[in-house]
Amino acid sequence: MTNSNNYCVIMGGGIGSRFWPFSRKSLPKQFLDFFGTGRSLLQQTYDRFSKIIPSENIFIVTNDLYASLIQEQLPELSPNQILLEPTRRNTAPCIAWASYHIHSLNPNANIVVAPSDHLILKEDEFLEAIGKGLKFAEKKCNLLTLGIKPNRPETGYGYIQVDEQKDGEFYKVKTFTEKPELELAKVFIESGEFYWNSGLFIWNVNCILKAFNELLPELVAKLAPGVGLYGTDKEKAFINEYFPACPNISIDFGIMEKADNVYVLMGDFGWSDLGTWGSLYDLSPKDNNQNVCLKCESLTYNSKNNIVVLPEGKLAVLQDMDGYLIAESDNVLLICKKEEEHAIRKFVNDAQIKMGEDYI
């Protein structure tokens, strides 16, 4: 029996530019089926949470651009379960709006907030952790995040340092650290005190609104005047007018790093933030020479450690290549060194400036 006070907010408005050219402005990565399962990352996220949260209590926050994509991929959602942002304003405004909206429907709501593009391999363990987190949020005004035990010094994730103080399985958070340089990441791993920040949050709606009031009053000033309009047919017009004036700030920077009531629940459920080509390479099956080939066919000669992603029905022939990313989608072919994928954002910007929107 699912608890009617439990809600889920899935954030699905990003462009996923680090996955260019596979992820495009018109069809970002959360709407793509990377592994040929027949379900996109967004659909998999919805499927996962609908097992423990009433389906009518699941909301998607996304950009106006993706309204029809959401309806196409998740036809079971009613239109009022899709919150459409008129412009991108990072995670804090997105979560604040969703919190006000849910509070108008249920002032006792407990909310899990999740990105739409994560991969979870051990679903039962994951859902068990979410269930524990929701019970924790119901009892006390604490902000909870899920921490992942790191298995490598990853520079693409944020880190959480835990305190010795704890409440059962829930550890008090000492510090949050943004994506570190490699040497610092190695120190974090060796210390045993640091966990990856999964970007998954759980809290009671009153607790998160209290945190917004205390720590981000400039954001509250823009969205609080909508109380009384949220959950009505006047909500969208209000959001269209006031949301673009919200500060562009992340929930990590705006709330989690500043609040003194943040806890973390450790998890080991085969989690991956599918944020980069490198993370996709790590998760994918490899041949004897550590090459990954997705969607297409390939012939390799004296080639190793490559990832090749071409449209279905295409053949890639590689000779004497080591550590390359070869990706083609629509009208763009990208070939670059795998370990230099951080340059992809520069490639996207350059293509946009020199060639316009057709290639983005």
CA distance 325 to 224: 46
Q: Is the pLDDT of residue 156 over 80?
A: no
CB 219 within 8 A of CB 96: yes
pLDDT of res. 1: 55
Query: With bands split at pLDDT 50, 70 and 90, how would you rate the model's confidence at 4?
Result: very high
C-alpha R_g of the chain: 21
CB 101 within 8 A of CB 83: yes
CA distance 331 to 21: 9
Beta strands in the chain (DSSP E): 6-11, 58-63, 82-85, 110-115, 118-120, 143-148, 159-167, 170-177, 194-204, 262-267, 271-273, 292-294, 297-301, 307-309, 315-319, 324-329, 332-337
Between these two residues, 22 and 1, which has the higher pLDDT value? 22
Q: Which residues pair with 63 in a beta bridge?
A: 85
CA distance 150 to 354: 40
pLDDT of res. 155: 77
Between these two residues, 20 and 222, which has the higher pLDDT value? 222
Contacts of 59 (CB under 8 A, 6+ apart): 7, 8, 9, 10, 81, 82, 83, 98, 101, 102
Contacts of 355 (CB under 8 A, 6+ apart): none
Q: Is the pLDDT of residue 291 over 60?
A: yes
CB 171 within 8 A of CB 262: no
4-13, 30-39, 231-240 — which is least confidently predicted?
Answer: 30-39
Tell me the pLDDT tens digit for each residue of 15-27: 777 888 888 888 8
Between these two residues, 213 and 33, which has the higher pLDDT value? 213
Q: What percent of the chain has pLDDT over 90?
A: 66
3 state SS of 283: helix
Tell me the pLDDT tens digit for each residue of 94-111: 999 999 999 999 999 999
CA dihedral sign of residues 287, 290, 294, 300? negative
Q: Which residues pair with 112 in a beta bridge?
A: 8, 202
The whole model's pTM is what? 0.89
CA distance 265 to 97: 25
CA distance 168 to 202: 16
